[in-house]
Amino acid sequence: MNVLVTGGGGFLGKAIVERLVSRGDHVRSFSRSHHQSLDELGVETVLGDLADADAVDRAVAGCDLVFHVAAKPGIWGPYLDYYLPNVVGTKNILGACRKFGVKRLVYTSTPSVVHAGRDLENANESLPYADHFATHYPRTKAEAEKMVLAAAGSEIATVALRPHLIWGPGDNHLVPRIVARGRAGRLRKIGSVEKLVDATYIDNAAEAHLLAADRLQIGSPISGKAYFIANGEPTPIWTLVDGILAAAGLPPVKKTIPYWLAYSVGATLEAFYSILRRRDEPMMTRFVAKQLSTAHWFDLSAAKRDLGYEPKVTTAEGLERLKAWFGSQKGYQFPTAPQVSGI
């Protein structure tokens, strides 16, 4: 097949690209910058911005299947910075698919579209979209997911996957954030109760996307539906954080602060950064305080039943692979500033 992966040079995008190439598909990537690693895989690259409809048309033309992975992540910044790539970009992808007769679209969403600030424990796909959002990322992703699922019909089949906290070797979001703060001694446990989270190892997330694509057809039962994806191993959040720190050769988090204090500090820093119009992310925000003190784990039975999804790499094995990866990176420079998307 001729397959387009938006954000093919990113963490998840590249993992999907590698699997498509290995099974013989002709793969095209669409992104804003060039990636030498994609050239080495023999991947065709189209450069452009998701908000540019003409550039999106050039990327989609001639494809049989689209994985729309690219998005603007993060927990800080102006609304327009998120709206243009996440909403307008998705609208452009859908328009190009209709224009060029692409019949299948797999969309990468996020569980944040249903998170309204309360615990998510054994949550399933019957949960409604949140009625309010703490940051622009989930707000714009929810709007985009709604568009994608509403587009499913007699001309195009669509499915949305909601992988939670993707991590692993080469991660440029969650792992660097934890390592940077751990190395600087700036990590604190929040609250006295350790909540459970279910994260997703990168190989499992990529495999879920291919499984969905292979089962997606016009009129198929999965068209127009969304699915939670994770490892199926709810784990105390600081156990996972300490495991990632250990893989990088760093000590576990020892200090704890009350939730109310973390939330208050986040609110103060947000106000300060807003007054100064600073675009860099505050060290603490209300969103991060809430994320680190609420449960996030999911009922994966729908993905297992409809997609044939079975997480193949356990959290323990993933941590061992991460440790080996850190050990193999000669001269690896640990990040010093955590300007990446949230935990």
Per the annotation, the verdict on 137 as an active-site residue is yes
Helix pair angle (174-183, 237-247), 10° resolution: 80
What's the token pair of residue 87?
Answer: 């909403």
What gap in Å lies between CA 65 and CA 4, rounded to an integer?
Answer: 6
**Residue 90 · residue 149 · CB < 8 Å:** no
Largest CA distance in the chain: 56
Q: What are phi and psi of 328, to 5 degrees?
A: -90, -10
Instruction: Please report where in the chains the tokens 């993707």 appear, as a residue.
Output: 166
Residue of 137, 201, 263, 309 marked active site: 137
Q: What are phi and psi of 252, to 5 degrees?
A: -70, 165
**Residue 299 · residue 191 · CB < 8 Å:** no
Which ranges of the chain would DSSP assign to H, the alpha helix?
A: 11-22, 36-40, 53-60, 79-83, 89-100, 136-150, 174-183, 202-215, 237-247, 259-275, 286-291, 301-307, 315-328
What gap in Å lies between CA 20 and CA 14, rounded to an integer?
Answer: 10
What gap in Å lies between CA 31 and CA 70, rounded to an integer?
Answer: 8
Sign, Cα dihedral of 217, 221, 227, 230: negative
What gap in Å lies between CA 221 and CA 212, rounded to an integer?
Answer: 11
What's the token pair of residue 136?
Answer: 């622009």
**Which are the catalytic amino acids?**
137
